[in-house]
Amino acid sequence: MYKQLSSGVKISITRSISTSFESYLASIDWDEEKFSMENFMENWQKYFTESAAWFDKVPQEVLLSTEFHAEIAKKMDEVIAKVLSEEPTAKQIASIDKMQKQLGTNYSYDCKAEAAYVEQLLKEKLK
């Protein structure tokens, strides 16, 4: 069912997963101890029903299908794995290192999305 959707809808679904995942992680300060798949799923459901452009473009019978839910779960696993494995950029690393020296902090980060979170956090501290 997922494969039958237009490429634009599939891209929008992927984007909604990554956006809501990164937003959820930011809301828990990227703290693995606070992570709850149940809370993330609630967050994602709220995001896609209120903000995602794709939700209104998928027929109701598809949205209610167990096959579609299984395909979305697989897609979520893929997107989350990609978000968590994408390396921080050299520019992010340099920016974070510079700000951490200024602030005397030592935040760690493991992926590009977490580096973006740390970079924004440090920018806020410098204001």
CA dist list (Å): 120 to 2, 35, 102, 108 = 35, 20, 15, 13
Q: What pLDDT is attached to residue 115?
A: 98
Domain shared by 80 and 18, yes or no: yes
Residue 56 to residue 70: CA distance in whole angstroms: 19
Residue with tokens 């700000």, as numbered in its chain: 99
Q: What pLDDT is attached to residue 127?
A: 87
Domain shared by 56 and 31, yes or no: yes
Residue 89 to residue 72: CA distance in whole angstroms: 29
Domain shared by 67 and 112, yes or no: no
Supply the range of the domain harboring residue 98.
Answer: 90-126
Number of separate domains in the chain = 2
Domain shared by 79 and 33, yes or no: yes
Domain shared by 8 and 41, yes or no: yes
Domain shared by 96 and 75, yes or no: no
Q: List phi, psi (to 5°) of 58.
A: -100, 125
Q: Of 85, 100, 118, which residue is a domain's last?
A: 85
State pTM to two decimals: 0.90
Going residue by residue through the chain, which has 127 residues, state the pLDDT in tens, using 9 for 90 and above: 988 999 999 999 999 999 999 999 999 999 999 999 999 999 999 998 898 889 999 999 999 999 999 999 999 999 999 999 999 999 999 999 999 999 999 999 999 999 999 999 999 999 8
Domain shared by 70 and 35, yes or no: yes
Residue with tokens 């609630």, as numbered in its chain: 42
Domain shared by 12 and 55, yes or no: yes
